[in-house]
Every structure is written in C-alpha cells, then in structure tokens.
C-alpha cells in the first residue's frame, strides 16, 4: 500500500478457475469481415424477424416488465455502484445473482456488454462480424436474460459505454464502417429517449451526477472506440470534441468523487511485458491500453493537474481479469490515483489459459502499479460511506459475491495540497513510478523469458527421452542379432 491510502485487504486470488466482403441481408451496406452462413436463409430470416420483434417489445417494456427502483433518487447520497465488463450473451450469466443481491444504486457497463463478433482463429487472431440485424438480435437476447431483467427491476440507474466486441469488431477504432448504426443499437439497449442529446453525439460518452452538495459523486464515462486511432499510432483516443466535453465536466465539477470510467486500462501496460509476443501481426497476446497512446494518457494527467481536480478514481475493463492498481503520490498526481479493473463476467483468464502460466504471470510479470489480480469471473463494487470520515471501499467480487480484493480509500487523501503547502516528493525514477515500457529489457520481458526457459526444458526433456528410447531400441536389436 502507498502512503495515506487506508488499508488493503487481500482475501484470495485464485490461480486457476484469457478479410473479405459481404453484403448484409436486407441492407445495402457492405461490412468487411469473414463469416460462414449456416443453414438455409429462410429459418435465419424467421429467427431475425422474431428477434427484432422481441427487441421492439423489450424496448417498450412489454416483455420484461422492467422499471427502475421507485425509491432511487440521484439527489440522495450514492451508496453503492457496481460494474462489470466482458459479458457474452451466449454464455452462463450466474454472476447476476450476487450483483442483484447486492442491491446497487447504479450499474455501470464497462464494455463488451455483448459479443457481436466471433473468433475464427486464435493465431493469427481473426474475427468475423455480424450484420446490424444480427447485432440487434444479440442485444435483444441480453436484454431478455433473466438475471439482467432482475437487475433492471431493482437497480436505480443503468449507464455504460462500449468496448470493441459490442462496438462491432475486435480491436476496432474510428475506422469501423458501421459505427453509427452500432451506436443506435447501443442507445436502444440503454433505453435512451429518441429526443435525447446523447443520440446526437458522435460517440457514447456521458456524465452523471449523484448526491447532494458535500456528498456528491460525478461519473464520467468515456468512449475509447468511436474516435480512436489505430494501436501503436500514438494518435487520438477520445477525439477533440470528447476532450472538450471532458475538460468542461472536470472544471465545473463540485463533486467529492470524480470517477473516470474507461473501457480499457489506464495505468498498467501489460502489453509491454509480453515482448516479443505482442508485436507479432494479429497476435492473440495484444493487450489494448492507454499506454499505446502515451500522448493521450499524459494529456489526461495534465488535464487533471492543470485544473487541480480532486477525488479522481479510475474504473476499467477489457482484459478478462480483475485488478486493483495504484499510482503513488507524485508519480502522476499529487495524490494516489487508484484504478479498479473488472473484466470477465462470463469468461475470464482462469478458464482460458493454463493455471501454471497464469501463476507465473502473477508472480513474475513486472507491474509497478498492481496491488493484486483476480483471475476468475468477477465484478467490481464501490461502496460509499459519507458519515464521519468519508470513504469509498473498492472491491472485486466473484460469482459467490465474496470480496476477492478489497481496499478502503479515504476521500481526504484524494486532494491537492493547499496553497503554499508542498505535496509529497518522490523522485521521478523511483521504482514504483517507472512505467513498464521503460524497464530494462531483462526485467520487462522476464515473464516471457521464464516461459521460454520452461518450454525449452520441456522440449529438451522430450528430446532426451526420445533419444534414450531410440538408443535402447537399437541396442536391443543388436543383441537380438548376436543371439
């Protein structure tokens, strides 16, 4: 734990349990992707028609009977915010049970709320895309999911953003041809009124304020897809219009807590520690992060510092694991910048990769900001206490609803020093301030080095065993000939 940041409780971190052209049917638009059509067109059209009808009924509330919790008021102090990401509508969603039981005031979707694309190949990584009608049906399926229906009946407010898979295609940015049509589906899924100003924006970013003066939380939800340049370009992430909006929201904020929600991680650079696996074209090991856009990352830090915005917390998703992170005081901000990542509501690293590999990653891979990981399916939770010394408790929880990682952060520690008062000084090259990409290559790549050594030993062992077997067989045959 860093200085003046409360206490950090570690409960458990499980080490086991991560092109062509087609014209869309019924549309004049073409979408770049690869897709195999299964079955006849007539059943497929019937299925899409029924799904579209279900979507329309769900949007009007006829099928789900959904209504927001009657006792929720955004003017009352926020008690609990829960969030999650990476939710495949085709997979089991048992995780809704503890989320609903927790009775959050607000539910925040942090991207990959559904999966509209399908993996065709892992190496090289190739995904196929869905048509707009197929995407509409996928959203309808998620909206009718019983666990999510139960949440919608009990939660006070549902907000969110998207990431690549619900946006339309793995790792896609501003180049996606059908992003405007995808945005319409996104707005329908969140029941945004037709005359809302949100529907006129280029992107799905939004701001939400909860609580009275003195007990106020401002939630700023970013869109890291619609305007984003290609990875490794060091170009734009948010686009100028969104940057102007974000600055205005931060400058005018009178909130005690300013939550910035991003679909991709802000502090860590896991990608840099996977060298050289991450630099192979279409590599399945490529990890998206703000660190690919160093200029934009620094721009956000400078924006917060220039306007002396206190109470900033970061939330993120995307990476199929949960993680609690902290940038210590004077590394980026005068106070600790905390980031809570929750990813993997229906699938997570523990069910995608060998347990030994994940355990090595946890123990060996350098990450100066990480306070712990959760490799199983998880969701995030923020609990606010406004009486006495106000604080927020950050936690990552599994399918049983128990905290796997938990930490208390007192709000008075998330503040700029008063005029004339000096903040804590930490040398810029202190170990916990140096980003992963600036490490010596042997430290930065040690996870890959260890894996390579283990694989090499195993290969050599197999070769030695084969050699022994061959020599033994030849020796046996020589003896048989002599006899």
Q: What is the pLDDT of residue 11?
A: 36
- In this structure, are residues 343 and 322 in contact, taking their beta carbons and an 8 Å threshold? yes
Question: Would you state the torsion angle of the CA atoms of residues 119, 121, 125, 131, taken in this order, to the nearest 10 degrees?
Answer: -40
Q: What is the pLDDT of residue 69?
A: 61
Residue 369 neighbours by CB under 8 Å, 6+ apart: 267, 268, 325, 326, 327, 339, 432
Question: What is the DSSP annotation of 122-188?
Answer: TTTTEEE---HHHHHHHHHHHHT-HHHHHHHHH-SEEEEE--HHHHTSTT--TT-TTHHHHHHHHHH
Residue 274 neighbours by CB under 8 Å, 6+ apart: 285, 287, 447, 448
Rounded to an integer, the average pLDDT of 255-283 is 84
Q: What is the pLDDT of residue 418?
A: 82
Q: 157-171, 213-227, 409-423: which range is least confident on average?
A: 409-423
> Is residue 98 predicted with pLDDT exceeding 70?
yes
Q: What is the pLDDT of residue 359?
A: 82
Q: 140-144, 165-169, 409-413, 455-459: which range is least confident on average?
A: 455-459
40, two tokens: 């006849």
Q: What is the pLDDT of residue 364?
A: 80
311: left (phi over 0), alpha (psi -120 to 50) or beta: left
Q: What is the pLDDT of residue 478?
A: 86
Q: Distance between the two ends of the chain, CA-based, in angstroms?
A: 74
Residue 322: strand, helix, or coil: strand
> Is residue 41 predicted with pLDDT exceeding 50?
no
% of the chain surpassing 90 pLDDT: 64
> Is residue 355 predicted with pLDDT exceeding 90?
no
> Is residue 465 predicted with pLDDT exceeding 70?
yes
Q: What is the pLDDT of residue 29?
A: 35
Q: What is the pLDDT of residue 347?
A: 96
Give the DSSP H or E segment for 32: strand 30-32
Nearest to 404 by CA among 382, 384, 380, 383: 380
Nearest to 240 by CA among 196, 200, 203: 203
DSSP character for 49?
Answer: H
Cis peptide bond prior to 473, omega within 30° of 0: no
What pTM was estimated for this model as a whole? 0.82
Where does the pLDDT of residue 225 fall: very low under 50, low under 70, confident under 90, or very high at 90 and above? very high
Give the separation between CA 178 and CA 174, rounded to whole angstroms.
Answer: 10
Where does the pLDDT of residue 146 fall: very low under 50, low under 70, confident under 90, or very high at 90 and above? very high
Residue 10 neighbours by CB under 8 Å, 6+ apart: 372, 405
Angle between the 446-482 and 355-364 helix axes, to the nearest 10 degrees?
A: 140
Instruction: Convert the pLDDT of each residue in 294-346 to its tens digit.
Output: 999 999 999 999 999 999 999 999 999 999 999 999 999 999 999 999 999 99
Q: What is the pLDDT of residue 57?
A: 44
Question: Would you state the torsion angle of the CA atoms of residues 23, 25, 28, 34, taken in this order, to the nearest 10 degrees?
Answer: -20
Residue 102 neighbours by CB under 8 Å, 6+ apart: 80, 82, 381, 401
Instruction: Convert the pLDDT of each residue in 232-248 to its tens digit.
Output: 888 999 999 999 999 99
E strand segments, 361-427: 370-374, 379-385, 391-397, 403-410
CB atoms inside a 10 Å sphere around CB 86: 26
Strand partners, 265: 289
pLDDT, mean over the chain: 84
CB atoms inside a 10 Å sphere around CB 247: 16
Where does the pLDDT of residue 466 fall: very low under 50, low under 70, confident under 90, or very high at 90 and above? very high
- CA separation, residue 381 to residues 6, 100, 103, 186, 398 (Å): 17, 12, 11, 23, 11
78, two tokens: 């926020």
Give 182-227 as a 3 state SS string: HHHHHHHHCCCCCCCHHHHCCCCCEEEEECCCCCCEEEEECCCCCC
């Amino acid at each position: 734990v860093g200085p003046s940041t409360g206490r950090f409780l570690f409960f458990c971190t499980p080490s086991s349990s991560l092109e062509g052209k087609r014209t869309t049917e019924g549309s004049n638009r073409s979408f770049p992707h690869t897709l195999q059509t299964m079955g006849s067109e007539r059943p497929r059209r019937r299925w899409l028609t029924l799904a579209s009808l279900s979507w329309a009924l769900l949007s009007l509330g006829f099928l789900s009977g959904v209504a927001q919790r009657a006792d929720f008021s955004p003017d009352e102090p926020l008690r609990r915010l829960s969030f999650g990401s990476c939710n495949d509508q085709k997979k089991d969603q048992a995780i809704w049970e503890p989320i609903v039981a927790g009775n959050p005031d607000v539910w925040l979707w942090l991207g990959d709320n559904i999966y509209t694309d399908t993996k065709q190949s892992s190496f090289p990584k190739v995904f196929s895309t869905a048509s707009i009608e197929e995407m509409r049906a996928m959203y309808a399926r998620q909206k009718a999911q019983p666990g999510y229906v139960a949440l919608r009946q009990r939660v006070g407010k549902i907000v969110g953003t998207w990431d690549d898979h619900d946006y339309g295609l793995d790792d896609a940015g501003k180049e996606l041809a059908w992003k405007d049509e995808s945005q319409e589906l996104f707005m329908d899924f969140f029941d945004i009124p037709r005359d809302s100003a949100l529907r006129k924006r280029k992107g799905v970013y939004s701001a939400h304020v909860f609580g009275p003066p003195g007990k106020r939380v401002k939630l700023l939800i970013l869109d890291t897809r619609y305007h984003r340049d290609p990875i490794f370009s060091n170009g734009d992430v948010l686009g100028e219009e969104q940057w102007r909006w974000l600055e205005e929201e931060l400058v005018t904020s009178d909130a005690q807590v300013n939550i910035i929600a991003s679909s991709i991680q802000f502090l860590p650079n896991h990608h840099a520690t996977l060298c050289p696996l991450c630099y192979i074209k279409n590599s399945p090991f490529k990890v998206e992060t703000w660190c690919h856009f160093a200029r934009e990352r620094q721009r956000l830090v400078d924006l917060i510092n220039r306007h002396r915005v206190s109470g900033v917390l970061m939330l993120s998703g995307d990476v199929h694991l949960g993680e609690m992170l902290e940038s210590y005081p004077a590394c980026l901000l005068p106070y600790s910048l905390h980031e809570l990542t929750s990813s993997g509501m229906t699938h997570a690293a523990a069910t995608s990769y060998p347990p030994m590999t994940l355990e090595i990653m946890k123990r060996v891979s350098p990450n100066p900001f990480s306070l712990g990981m959760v490799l199983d399916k998880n969701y995030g939770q923020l609990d606010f206490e406004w009486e006495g010394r106000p604080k927020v408790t950050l936690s990552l929880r599994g399918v049983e609803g128990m905290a796997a990682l938990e930490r208390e952060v007192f709000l008075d520690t998330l503040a700029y020093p008063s005029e004339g008062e000096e903040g804590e000084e930490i040398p810029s090259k202190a170990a916990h301030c140096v980003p992963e990409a600036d490490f010596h290559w042997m430290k930065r790549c040690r996870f890959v080095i260890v894996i390579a050594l283990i694989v090499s030993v195993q290969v050599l062992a197999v070769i030695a065993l084969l050699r022994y077997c061959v020599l033994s067989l030849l020796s046996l045959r020589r003896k048989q000939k002599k006899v």
